[in-house]
Structure 1
Amino acid sequence: MLKSIRINIQKKSLKERFLLVLGILFFLVYLVLGLFIIFMKNFPLDMSPAYRIAFGILLIAYASFRFFRIINDNNN
């Protein structure tokens, strides 16, 4: 599987590779931001802990959605 992903990335144009890297970067940004919002003790915005955890989970769910879209687009 890893070999097929490597070959598939090599077939992509420079623009497609750049968009793939950008997609992976934003996946990581949303994932880290969601974890940061959930586990940060001194959060700068005045939010109740329940809303903060819900917002963090929403960001992590969106990050996983983006990850599966990247994987599906990479297989094509």
Structure 2
Amino acid sequence: MLNNIVNNIKKKSLKERFLLVLGILFFLVYLILGLFIIFMKNFPLAIQPNYRIAFGVLLIVYASIRFFRIINDNVN
């Protein structure tokens, strides 16, 4: 499966590879932001801890959805 993904990336145009890198970058941004919101003790916004954790989990779930969409787009 990994060889299939690598071969498909090599076949992509420069624009498609740029969009792939951009998609991976935003996946990492959402993931890190979600973790940052959950684990930061001195969060600059006045949000209750339960809502802050829920928002962080929501960002991590969204990041995982983006990740699986990137994988599915590059397998085919």
| TMscore range, shorter length | over 0.9
Runs (4+) of structure 1 exceeding 3 A deviation are: none
1:8 aligns with 2:2: no
TM-score by length of 1: 0.97
Alignment partner, residue 34 of structure 1: 34
SS at match of 1:66: helix
The root-mean-square deviation of aligned C-alpha atoms, in Å, is 0.6
Alignment partner, residue 22 of structure 2: 22
Q: Name the amino acid aligned to 1:62.
A: Y
Distance 1:74 1:33 in 2: 25
Q: Which runs of 5+ in 2 are unaligned?
A: none
Alignment partner, residue 66 of structure 1: 66
Alignment partner, residue 53 of structure 1: 53
Distance 2:8 2:73 in 1: 11
Sequence identity percentage: 82
Distance 2:3 2:75 in 1: 12
Number of residue pairs matched? 76
